[in-house]
Amino acid sequence: MNGFWKRVAFAFRSFFSILFHADIPEDIAQKGVKATVPFPQVSAAKEPSGLRLKEDARPGSEAAGRAVQILALLQRDGRLVDFLAEDISVYSDGQLGAAVRTIHETCRQVLDHYVKLEPILNSEENQPVTVQAGFDPAAIKLIGNVAGEPPVRGMLRHKGWRVKEVNLPPLPQAAGRMVVAPAEVELS
Amino acid sequence: MAARYIVGIDLGTTNSALARCDAADAEEESRIEVRSIPQLVNPSEVAEPTLLPSFLYIPGEFDFPKGSLALPWEPEPKLVIGELARKRGAESPNRLVASAKSWLSYAAVNRTAPILPWQAPEEVPKLSPVEASSQFLKYLRTVWDSGEVRGQRGLALAEQDVLLTVPASFDEEARELTRRAAEQAGFPHVTLLEEPLAAFYAWLASEGDTWRRRIKVGDLVLVCDVGGGTTDFSLIMVSEENGELTLKRVAVGDHILLGGDNMDLALARVLQQRLEASGNRVDTWQLHSLWHQCRNAKEKLFESPKTQNRPITLLGKGTKLVGGTIKTELTREDLDQVLVEGFFPKIASGELPARQRRVGFQELGLPYAADPAITKHLARFLSEQVRNSPEAAAIRRGSSGLACPTHILFNGGVMKAALLRNRVVGVMNSWLRQEGFGALGEEQILEARDLEHAVARGAVYYGKARRGRGVRIRSGASRTYYLGIESAMPAVPGMEAPLKALCVVPFGMEEGTETAIPDREFGLVVGEPAEFRFLSSSVRKQDQVGSLLEDWGADLEELSPLEVTLKLDGQQGTVVPVRLESRVTELGTLEIWCVSRDGSHRWNLELNIREKTGR
């Protein structure tokens, strides 16, 4: 630490802070921490190029609007965003379960209505399947002992999901496109 | 040009539907199809369900984002009609018009004045019940005209053969207002058809020719129609004429404002009380969600008789979703006690419903039924209403005079639940046994299919039957109508001259017939409006044309007066003696005419519908 008066100042600040706020001041706390071994500093993560806003993903654009729209529909009819944004660590499984059942049902209906899904490989999971030659690696992922030329046989571990039909309503005007759910104000 | 389509419109209290068939199709079995009705279901989202919720929302400046109300045929509508209106109305009730049809039959308010939404704040533009009903019809017309028939000559909805259904219990005033609503919506002629009859026609349509094997001469069919907002009963008798089986509607019940919505709300209230008793607060928004979930849970419990309860979860309001979640459940016991015992209690046939309170109507709004027990209303219908019917001798009765149906046809959303149908059949059977008749078995319960659209389809069938391609039920006037005649006694100051009632339209007077009222002449002054007091009775059914009543107790109800102004060129101020004639048209309209003594001139009396005061 440093000079005498600085120490006095810190001492008084800490005293009053503990007395009235039950904690030492933030900056003093920061300075004092030496206990942990610093983690090897990962250089500030380079932003993956996808995060940088491309031309067509600017707020208000069609692409951004559609992304927001899916969230908005799941929120409007299923309250999914409220659920995901809430801190659920404080709730018991029982309490959580009841709410989740409702959200599950309503969000399913949203998907059914607006973005119909279908499995990519329509067989039972954990049963053998054959993957034909010329398959699209974006649609079918091979894992495990990946060797040899297709057709290959293996066990289906996940059916995959693909969107069959998109039935989205028209987007609102540019100004409203970033709204997931309007704030609600009740008048009496 | 002859109409290409026969169209049936069911303008329901909660939901409306439209069905049609090709008029040119010669078969009796020509396909009756239900049309889907495009409507806004969310802002900027149009869907096409087959039902149009009868809700109208008057958007203010801030209700919806700009442009989100656009319809394919109208970029900026002034009113929202249908599913979105219902949804938004639940959030913001000040601007919602619901149950317009029930207001149409409520005489204590001025039904042509802009009073809806009821007790809404000043700045909300208002509509009359007639205008609201006409907006729904106009919407259907626009949907039709901008659909696949667009631009083609002769295919506009107003040019088709349109049949509009009304509750059988609607009196002439309510029917006249319905006609006016249709006129305002751009329909020059509509035929009115009673809903229980339409339900029966829908059954005939689905049975095809085999109906003659199901019912025979002497049978009495009870049509029990319990919808979202109203309960309606009718009796149809099967008789014979010239060797042919004929059907005749012989009794009509009162208009009872009691239905599925009352039931759902009752369930929600019970659960709300239970939640509040255990310390949870349920605010109005959550009550709405509770109402909605009760309805769903109730339907699930009805569908699977083995399930004993259904969980109900009210998510927390705001972003504290899980934190504010309230859990409860709807049990089969709740269903039994609140719905089955509350609305369909087992009673003896002599038990009558509690008297309707007549206090403070203006504050309460619509006069909902005082007694929620539908079985009591049914008992009253079978005993009182039918007692005075002209067919009294032919109707199957028990020893106490109770009419004893041989078959039951159920209609309306509430009767989709087998549990409730079985209860009604059970209660009916207990009465039948008491009266000395056998119980009704499964054969005697006429299965209606597609209860939500039955009335619209039935209306189309009737349209075909009228053209000779199907069976017709003879119905005629649903009440007896009278003119009020003041007796010629010396005027006593402060006392109203005693009134006598002259029967001008007997109950059951058939469509397409007319009759002259004998032995009476009235002197009317040309150019001056003359008023006749007009009364009706749903209880007295045997009065003949021309009979004069002096004391009727509570059997007669006064309607709005009939008015006429005689017009004769050049005879202003002279007194012209006229006789009266009454007529029921093919469209089901009642007409009362003043005819000059020599028969050369006729003037139509018009219903001057007014608000009733001092009742």
Summarised one tens digit per residue, pLDDT across range B65-120 is 888 899 999 999 999 999 999 988 888 888 999 889 888 888 778 889 999 998 88
Number of domains in chain B: 4
Q: Is B36 exposed, middle or buried (0-12, 13-18, 19+ CB in 10 A)?
A: middle
As a whole number, the mean pLDDT across chain A is: 81
Cβ of A170 under 8 Å from any chain B Cβ?
yes
Residue B102 is assigned to a structural domain of this protein: yes
Q: For A152-157, which contacts have Cβ atoms below 8 Å and span 24 or more sequence positions?
A: A153/A128, A153/A129, A154/A128, A154/A129, A155/A126, A155/A127, A155/A128, A155/A129, A156/A121, A156/A123, A156/A124, A156/A125, A156/A126, A156/A127, A156/A128, A156/A129, A157/A125, A157/A126
Distance CA B595, CA B597 (A): 6
Amino acid at B551: D
Please check whether residue B65 is in contact with residue A182, taking contact to mean a CB–CB distance below 8 angstroms: no
pLDDT per residue over B281-325, tens digit each? 887 777 878 888 888 888 888 888 888 888 888 887 777 888 888
Residue B400 has pLDDT above 90, yes or no: no
pLDDT band at B585 (very low <50, low <70, confident <90, very high): confident
**Boundaries of domain holding B338:** 260-343
Contacts of A79 in chain B (CB under 8 A): 315, 321
pLDDT band at B192 (very low <50, low <70, confident <90, very high): very high
pLDDT band at B208 (very low <50, low <70, confident <90, very high): confident
Q: Which two tokens stand for residue B28?
A: 């009796």
Whole-Å CA distances, B406 to A21, B233, B458, B460? 83, 15, 22, 26
Site from B322, B326, B328, B329 to mutate, A interface, most A CB atoms within 10 angstroms: B322
pLDDT band at B457 (very low <50, low <70, confident <90, very high): very high
Distance CA B330, CA B314 (A): 13
Distance CA B405, CA B428 (A): 9
Measured between CA atoms, the residue of chain B closest to residue A177 is B65
Report which listed range, B127-141, B231-245, B373-387, is most confident.
B127-141
Please check whether residue B82 is in contact with residue B68, taking contact to mean a CB–CB distance below 8 angstroms: no
Please check whether residue B32 is in contact with residue B190, taking contact to mean a CB–CB distance below 8 angstroms: no
pLDDT band at A107 (very low <50, low <70, confident <90, very high): very high
Q: Same structural domain for residues B232 and B284?
A: no
Q: Which two tokens stand for residue A164?
A: 């069959």
Chain CA centroid to CA B440, Å: 27
CATH code assigned at B178: 3.30.420.40
Please check whether residue B605 is in contact with residue B564, taking contact to mean a CB–CB distance below 8 angstroms: yes
| Higher local confidence (pLDDT), B243 or A162 | A162
Q: Which two tokens stand for residue B519?
A: 């032995």
Measured between CA atoms, the residue of chain A closest to residue B325 is A99
Residue A104 has pLDDT above 80, yes or no: yes
| Higher local confidence (pLDDT), B368 or B327 | B327
- Residue-level pLDDT at B253: 85
Q: Same structural domain for residues B54 and B156?
A: yes
Q: Which of B72, B90, B280, B255 is nearest to B166 (CA)?
A: B255
- Residue-level pLDDT at A42: 43
Residue B495 is assigned to a structural domain of this protein: yes
Distance CA B264, CA B257 (A): 14
Contacts of B84 in chain A (CB under 8 A): none
pLDDT band at A55 (very low <50, low <70, confident <90, very high): low
- Residue-level pLDDT at B363: 44
Q: Which of A86, A90, A169 sits opposite B45 (nearest CB)?
A: A169
pLDDT per residue over B42-52, tens digit each? 998 999 999 99
Residue B354 is assigned to a structural domain of this protein: no
Last residue of a domain, one of B193, B223, B240: B193
What does the DSSP 8-state code read for residue B365? -
Q: Which of B182, B219, B3 is nearest to B104 (CA)?
A: B182
Q: How distant is the Cα of A82 from the closest Cα of chain B, in angstroms?
A: 5
Q: Which of B18, B194, B226, B12 is nearest to B99 (CA)?
A: B12
Residue B539 is assigned to a structural domain of this protein: yes
| Mean pLDDT calculated for residue range A133-161 | 89
Last residue of a domain, one of B414, B441, B470: B470
Contacts of B65 in chain A (CB under 8 A): 172-173, 176
- Residue-level pLDDT at A29: 64
Q: For B179-185, which contacts have Cβ atoms below 8 Å and span 24 or more sequence positions?
A: B179/B589, B180/B112, B180/B130, B180/B134, B181/B104, B181/B130, B181/B131, B181/B133, B181/B134, B181/B137, B182/B134, B182/B137, B183/B134, B184/B130, B184/B131, B184/B134, B184/B138, B185/B134, B185/B135, B185/B137, B185/B138, B185/B141
- Residue-level pLDDT at A2: 62
Q: Same structural domain for residues B247 and B396?
A: yes
- Residue-level pLDDT at B385: 66
Helix (H, G, I), strand (E, B) or coil at B294: helix
Contacts of B161 (CB under 8 A, 6+ apart): B3, B5, B6, B7, B23, B191, B463
Distance CA B418, CA B409 (A): 13
- Residue-level pLDDT at A37: 45
| Mean pLDDT calculated for residue range B547-575 | 84
Distance CA B193, CA B385 (A): 20
| Higher local confidence (pLDDT), B354 or B189 | B189
Question: Quick check: A79 and B321 CB within 8 A?
Answer: yes
Cβ of A37 under 8 Å from any chain B Cβ?
no
Q: Which of B66, B318, B322 sits opposite A95 (nearest CB)?
A: B322
- Residue-level pLDDT at B530: 85
Cβ of A169 under 8 Å from any chain B Cβ?
yes
- Residue-level pLDDT at A1: 53
Last residue of a domain, one of B322, B343, B364: B343
Distance CA B212, CA B203 (A): 12
Q: What is the Cα Rg of chain B in Å? A: 25
pLDDT band at A35 (very low <50, low <70, confident <90, very high): very low
Q: How many CA atoms lie within 13 A of B112 on its CB side?
A: 15
Question: Quick check: B68 and A172 CB within 8 A?
Answer: yes
Residue B105 is assigned to a structural domain of this protein: yes
Please check whether residue A173 is in contact with residue B67, taking contact to mean a CB–CB distance below 8 angstroms: yes
- Residue-level pLDDT at B40: 95
Q: Same structural domain for residues B388 and B522?
A: no
Question: Quick check: A83 and B322 CB within 8 A?
Answer: yes
- Residue-level pLDDT at B166: 92
Q: Is A117 exposed, middle or buried (0-12, 13-18, 19+ CB in 10 A)?
A: exposed
- Residue-level pLDDT at B250: 85
> Which residue bears the tokens 């008057």?
B58
Find out whether the peptide bond into B498 is cis, omega within 30 degrees of 0. Answer: no
pLDDT per residue over A67-84, tens digit each? 999 999 999 999 999 999
Q: Which of A95, A102, A172 sits opposite B44 (nearest CB)?
A: A172
Residue A20 has pLDDT above 80, yes or no: no
Strand-strand pairing, B407-411 and B513-525? unpaired
Residue B360 has pLDDT above 50, yes or no: no
Q: Same structural domain for residues B453 and B492?
A: no
| Higher local confidence (pLDDT), B258 or B487 | B258
Residue B348 is assigned to a structural domain of this protein: no
- Restricting to A residues 93-152, those with a Cβ less than 8 Å away from any Cβ of B are 95-96, 98-99, 101-103
Residue A38 has pLDDT above 60, yes or no: no
Whole-Å CA distances, A115 to A66, A81, A136? 12, 17, 22
Q: Which two tokens stand for residue B302?
A: 């009805």
Q: Same structural domain for residues B148 and B164?
A: yes
Three-class secondary structure assignment of B23-85: CCCCCCCCCCEECCCCEEEECCEEECCCCEECEEECCCCCCCCCCCCCECCECCCCCEECHHH
Contacts of B318 in chain A (CB under 8 A): 82, 184
pLDDT band at B567 (very low <50, low <70, confident <90, very high): confident
- Residue-level pLDDT at A44: 43
The count of other CB atoms within 10 Å of the CB of residue B76 is 9
Residue B11 gets the label, from left (phi > 0), alpha (psi -120 to 50) or beta, of: beta
Please check whether residue B52 is in contact with residue B39, taking contact to mean a CB–CB distance below 8 angstroms: yes
Residue B76 is assigned to a structural domain of this protein: yes
As a whole number, the mean pLDDT across chain B is: 86
Q: Same structural domain for residues B15 and B118?
A: yes
Alpha-helical runs (H) found in B506-578: none
Question: Quick check: B66 and A173 CB within 8 A?
Answer: yes
Distance CA B451, CA B412 (A): 6
| Higher local confidence (pLDDT), B609 or B273 | B273
The residues that bridge with B480 in the sheet, in sequence order, are B537
Question: Quick check: A172 and B323 CB within 8 A?
Answer: no
pLDDT band at B569 (very low <50, low <70, confident <90, very high): confident
Q: Same structural domain for residues B558 and B435?
A: no
| Higher local confidence (pLDDT), B358 or B598 | B598
Residue B16 has pLDDT above 70, yes or no: yes
Please check whether residue B24 is in contact with residue B44, taking contact to mean a CB–CB distance below 8 angstroms: no
Residue B546 gets the label, from left (phi > 0), alpha (psi -120 to 50) or beta, of: left
Q: Same structural domain for residues B523 and B420?
A: no
**CA triplet B108, B113, B119: central angle to 5 degrees?**
75
Please check whether residue A165 is in contact with residue A116, taking contact to mean a CB–CB distance below 8 angstroms: yes
Residue B362 has pLDDT above 60, yes or no: no
Distance CA B8, CA B408 (A): 24
- Residue-level pLDDT at A57: 60
Distance CA B407, CA B425 (A): 10
> What percent of chain B clears pLDDT 90, i.e. is strictly above it?
33
Domain boundary assignment for chain A: 1-30, 56-117+162-176
Please check whether residue B138 is in contact with residue B171, taking contact to mean a CB–CB distance below 8 angstroms: no
Q: Which of B39, B43, B80 is nearest to A172 (CA)?
A: B43
Distance CA B182, CA B136 (A): 9
pLDDT per residue over B467-489, tens digit each? 877 778 888 888 899 998 876 66
| Mean pLDDT calculated for residue range B435-448 | 86
Report which listed range, B131-140, B382-391, B467-476, B535-544, is most confident.
B131-140
Distance CA B282, CA B268 (A): 11
Q: Out of B2-6, B234-238, B383-387, pick the least confident.
A: B383-387
